[in-house]
Amino acid sequence: VSGRKNPLFFGLALRLKQARSQAGLKRLPLAQKAGLAMATGRDVELGARVPTVATVLRLASALQVSAAWLAYGVGAADDQQTLQIGGTMGERLASLRADRALSRAALGRTCGLSARAIAKIEAGGQSGVDVIESLAMALGVSPAWLAYGAEPRVLSQIRRGRPPAQSPADAR
């Protein structure tokens, strides 16, 4: 079947439920630990709400899992690398946009956003994990790197199908 592959954040609800179960927490204690309304955690877990980058960071911190893994499935769940490498999300976005000589309007047209929405993110405003993934894909970087500063900066393409055959020398 041809077409566009699912965005990386689509698995967030399942990853959240898995991490919550492994932590032995029910929804209310998780929400309290993360400093969120119970409805927020419930809606994210049920896939009824796309959370902001900050909400995912709060949930990940409460669950002691990687925000990059929780939001986008990038890296390992227990990878607790230092976040915010290379400045803030807004600084990373502004720097990438400048490196590619794109105006806010041009980038916005690529992602279906307004120049004003991009300016707000660059100024330190929050945005949903879906919007950040859209921006990251348009700029050719990992959404986990753009949102949280998590490495790798660029995701390698995942090839589907059979792995390449190995020669006996490679198998050693």
pLDDT tens, position by position, 104-115: 999 999 999 999
Distance CA 8, CA 157 (A): 13
Please give the share of the chain, as a percent, with pLDDT higher than 70.
84
Tokens of 117: 């929405």
155 near 142, Cβ under 8 Å? yes
Going by C-beta distance under 8 Å and a sequence separation of 6 or more, which residues neighbour residue 157? none
pLDDT in the model for residue 158: 52
pLDDT tens, position by position, 38-97: 999 999 999 999 999 999 999 999 999 999 999 999 988 887 664 545 689 999 999 999
146 near 132, Cβ under 8 Å? yes
Distance CA 48, CA 70 (A): 16
Mean pLDDT of 30-37: 96
| HSE-CB for 54 with a 13 A CA cutoff | 9
* pLDDT over 50 at 163, yes or no: no
pLDDT in the model for residue 75: 87
pLDDT in the model for residue 159: 43
